[in-house]
Amino acid sequence: MNKPHCLRPFLVAALGFATLLPAALAHHLHNQSDTEELSSPWMNKNLSPGERADMVLQQMTLDEKIDLMHGNGMPGWGAPRPNAYLGNGGAGFVLGIPRLGIPIIQMSDAAYGVRNSAENGRYSTALPSNLASAASWDPHAACEYGALIGRELRAQGYNMSLGGGVNLTREPRNGRTFEYMGEDPVLAGTMVGNRIRCEQAQHVIGDIKHYALNDQESGRGEVDSIISKRAMRESDLLAFQIGIQVGDPAAVMCSYNAVNGDFACENKYLLTDVLKKDWKFKGFVLSDWGGTHSTVKASAAGLDNEQPMDDFYGAKLKEAVQSGKVPMSELDDHVRRILRSEFAAGIVDYPVQKSVVNVDKGFAISRTIAEQSTVLLKNNGDILPLDAARLHSIAIIGPHADFGMISGGGSAQVDPEGGRPTPWHAQVWFPTSPLKAVEAQAPQASVQFDSGANPASAAALARRSDVAIIFAYQWESEGMDLPSLSLPDNQDALIEQVAAANPHTIVVLESGTAVTMPWLNKVAGVVEAWYAGSKGADAVADILFGKVNPSAKLPMTFPLSVADLPHPHLVTPPPGTQGTAAVMRTGEARPTFAVHYDEGLKVGYKWYDAEKRPVLFPFGFGLSYTTYNYSGLKVQPGAETSVTFTLKNTGSRDGAEVAEVYAALPASADEPPKRLVGWSKVPLKAGESKQVTVTIDPLYLSIYNEASDSWKLVPGSYTFMVGGSSQSLPLAKRINLK
Q: For residue 212, say if its preceding peptide bond is cis, omega within 30 degrees of 0.
A: yes
Query: Which residues are known to be catalytic?
Result: 288
DSSP 269: I
* Parallel/antiparallel/unpaired status of strands 655-664 and 675-684: antiparallel
DSSP 673: S
What is the per-residue burial (b if ≥16 Cβ within 10 Å, else e) of 283-321? bbbbbbbbbbbbbbbbbbbbbbbbbbbbbbbbebbbebb
CA nearest to 192, candidates 253, 131, 251: 131
Question: What Rg, from alpha-carbon coordinates, does the chain have?
Answer: 26
List C-alpha distances in Å: 144 to 139, 378, 540, 629. Answer: 9, 29, 20, 30
Query: Helices 139-155 and 185-200 sit at what angle, rounded to 10 degrees?
Result: 40
CA nearest to 616, candidates 564, 673, 553, 550: 564
Residues 6+ apart with CB under 8 A from 569: none
The conformational region for residue 113 under phi > 0 = left, psi -120 to 50 = alpha, else beta, is left
CA pair distance 343, 46, nearest whole angstrom: 11
User: With the CA atoms of 315, 319, 322 and 328 taken in that order, what torsion angle do they form, in degrees rounded to the nearest 10?
Assistant: -60
Helix intervals (H) in 529-572 = 536-544
User: With the CA atoms of 323, 324, 326 and 332 taken in that order, what torsion angle do they form, in degrees rounded to the nearest 10?
Assistant: 110
CA pair distance 226, 223, nearest whole angstrom: 9
List C-alpha distances in Å: 672 to 600, 605, 694, 707. Answer: 10, 9, 22, 20
List C-alpha distances in Å: 272 to 69, 127, 288, 696. Answer: 17, 34, 17, 28
- Looking at the chain, how many residues does it have? 738
Q: How many helices (H) and strands (E) does the chain have?
A: 21, 29
Contact 134, 239 (CB under 8 A): no
Contact 173, 482 (CB under 8 A): yes
CA-angle at 13, arms to 7 and 15, nearest 5°: 105
List C-alpha distances in Å: 123 to 355, 359, 415, 419. Answer: 11, 8, 8, 9
Contact 452, 400 (CB under 8 A): no
Q: How many CB atoms lie within 10 A of CB 322?
A: 11
- How much helix, strand and coil, in percent to the nearest 5, is found in the chain? 35, 20, 45
CA nearest to 250, candidates 190, 302, 209: 209
